[in-house]
Structure 1
Amino acid sequence: MIVALAGGVGGARLANGLAGVLQPGELLVAVNVGDDFEHLGLTICPDIDTVTYTLAGLNDRERGWGVKEESWAFMDTLRKLGGPDWFALGDRDLAKHVLRTDRLRRGDTLTAITQDIARACGIVQTIVPVSDDPVRSIVETDEGALPFQDYFVRRRCEPVFRGIRYEGAETARPAPALLAALDDPALEAIVICPSNPVLSIGPLLAVPGIADALRRRRAPCIAVSPFIGGEAVKGPAAKIMRELGIAPGAAALAKPYAGIVDAILCDYDDPGAGTTMDGIRLIAADTLMRDDIGQRRLARVALALAAMLRKPA
């Protein structure tokens, strides 16, 4: 059993690499729900969908989000009718949002819905939301508080980032499948994917019980830095770090991950490579995932490092 914590495109890519090198049923991917929101009466779960599409081989690699070979008749009509068109919903993608929203209204859990959709897409590993309860990231900016999708999509991350809060996290309950996996004697490793530490992993760790479970874990925990050459491969992580007065790099992960991870895999040119910070070893590797081969290569490196750090039974 391997547990991966993921959010965003980088998280989905490494989760896909892990899925590609493990046997069916050996991987559980717990996904951020802090960027979920309600739009046009629908419950949208962008990170869950990105992970699902990527593991199913349905993701649009050029855009980095959504479904490949998508069509846009819904958005074209919505735009002509004067509806809000700032958040794109493709025709194929829309079906999943409608189904999810209908089942949530009928009382099904987000975990059950996510797993049913994954099975329907032919995914042989387990995908769960970090919680079935709503957690919503609110970004504090120089223009005031913005719901995450307003900051990320509508405003394209232009406002200056000042901080973030995770509404609902304090009362959210961890997904039972995630807690069970973290306490499973068969657990061999935990991998924190190269996701934005503030926007994707922060909401996950804010759910009560998860950080504690990670601290008392028996298996090694490896994090992969999303930064290469002082920049994020995808997304606004580097911009956010600079606006918080923190240099983008693996060292920026040491404080928030202290007591949770044993080692951080960082790119060879990372200034922190080869050092130890807050009790965490920063180990150099080729962390750029250019394609499926690169995803599997990095997955093997992370699992090999975990095996090296694993304590004898």
Structure 2
Amino acid sequence: MTVVVLTGGVGGAKLVLGLANVMPPEEIVAIVNTGDDFEHLGLSISPDIDTLLYTLSGKANTVQGWGRAGESWGFMAALRELGGEDWFQLGDGDLALHVLRSMRLRAGDSLSVVTRAFAQAWSIGVTVLPMSDDPVRTRLDTAIGPLDFQQYFVRERCVPAVNAIRFDGADGASPAPGVIEAIAGADAILIAPSNPFLSIDPILAVPAIRAALLRASGPVVAVSPIVGGAAVKGPTAKLMTELGLAIDNHAIARHYRAVIDGLVVHAGDPAPADGLLILETDTMMTTLEDRIRVARATLALAESAGRRRSAV
């Protein structure tokens, strides 16, 4: 069985880790958002890819929710002494990843080649693919003017109201090698409970990826990021309000309706009734056992959706 997961950072990485504990990791392909990628202090940084690599290798700082466990901060202290920009935190261990990535990209390697090398170095069995080797950048039109994603998310702490979201470069971007083949050959395609507007939409904005999902033979199911009328983490609920959307599963279902067959929702939350298959479970993923439970539930819904597709 081959399972493809479209994912952003922290929430998506939890689902992928759960999957890797209930099925052979070699049968999982994670297609990761790169709209968050940016250059900072001369370094090429891929936050969502790095979160997935740290999580799957057991190196993630699970308390902080980002970065490496056991990190030290000597570089940042020295940077501040010299008056450098310190709004984006780079730990000493984290720097190794960014420096090596930057060196290899400048030498001509693609992001997918570099990512594969890191995954192999840390014995990660899951195939981790950037959505594209071409630059796609998430930009937000806000009340204080246009902001790059990291400026909005980290520097401004998601405070400015958002009027619109754009994915610069997406129209002309090609999927990274292996992305289309993985979608075409998947027995199931899962959309992680990552932010639909900031983490999943950049992936879907690459025309060939969206087209591949629409013609995929395997069922496509999503996990809602909404729990009790709020987002588990990040600015999902705030964005939905600012974009004129209700903070509920009905809005999530409408957002994904063109590409999904089913939706996993948090137990007790109102579920949409528009023909989608629905599975209710506790979608909070605090512990590894939680992540395994949500992974099993999502696979079960995908199996049901596959049977329904076959019966049509």
Of all paired residues, the percent bearing the same amino acid is: 51
Q: In the alignment, what sits opposite 1:250?
A: 249
Map Cα deviations across residues 105-134 of structure 1 (whole Å, 9 max, x no partner).
111010110011011112111001000000
Which of 160-169 and 243-252 deviates more?
243-252
Q: In the alignment, what sits opposite 2:91?
A: 90
Q: Is the 8 A contact 1:34 1:166 kept in 2?
A: yes
1:21 to partner: Cα distance: 1.1
Q: In the alignment, what sits opposite 2:184?
A: 183
Q: In the alignment, what sits opposite 1:265?
A: 264
The amino acid of 1:238's aligned partner reads A
The unaligned stretches of length 5 or more in structure 1 are none
Q: In the alignment, what sits opposite 1:46?
A: 47
1:245 to partner: Cα distance: 1.7
Map Cα deviations across residues 241-268 of structure 1 (whole Å, 9 max, x no partner).
1111212122122222122110110112
Please give the alpha-carbon distance, in whole angstroms, between the structure 1 residues aligned to 2:210 and 2:177.
Answer: 14
The amino acid of 2:177's aligned partner reads P
1:162-177, aligned counterparts within 5 Å? Answer: 162-177=163-178
Q: Is the 8 A contact 1:228 1:269 kept in 2?
A: no
| 2:73 is aligned with 1:72 | yes
Please give the alpha-carbon distance, in whole angstroms, between the structure 2 residues aligned to 1:73 and 1:163.
Answer: 38
1:4 to partner: Cα distance: 0.3
1:283 to partner: Cα distance: 3.0
1:307 to partner: Cα distance: 1.2
The amino acid of 1:276's aligned partner reads A
Runs of 4+ in 1 over 3 A off after TM superposition: none
Please give the alpha-carbon distance, in whole angstroms, between the structure 1 residues aligned to 2:261 and 2:94.
Answer: 38
1:284 to partner: Cα distance: 1.8
Q: Is the 8 A contact 1:250 1:282 kept in 2?
A: no
1:216 to partner: Cα distance: 0.7
1:283 to 273, 279, 285: 279
Q: In the alignment, what sits opposite 2:293?
A: 297
1:20 to partner: Cα distance: 1.4
Please give the alpha-carbon distance, in whole angstroms, between the structure 1 residues aligned to 2:92 and 2:71.
Answer: 7
Please give the alpha-carbon distance, in whole angstroms, between the structure 2 residues aligned to 1:195 and 1:24.
Answer: 20
The amino acid of 1:119's aligned partner reads Q
1:87 to partner: Cα distance: 0.2
Q: Is the 8 A contact 2:230 2:237 kept in 1?
A: yes
The amino acid of 1:234's aligned partner reads K
The amino acid of 1:304's aligned partner reads A
Please give the alpha-carbon distance, in whole angstroms, between the structure 1 residues aligned to 2:303 and 2:125.
Answer: 23
Map Cα deviations across residues 207-226 of structure 1 (whole Å, 9 max, x no partner).
11111111111111110011
1:281 to partner: Cα distance: 3.2
Question: Number of residues paired by the alignment?
Answer: 308
Q: In the alignment, what sits opposite 1:221?
A: 220
Q: Is the 8 A contact 2:279 2:301 kept in 1?
A: no
3-state SS of paired residue (2:19): helix
Q: In the alignment, what sits opposite 2:191?
A: 192
Q: In the alignment, what sits opposite 1:150?
A: 151
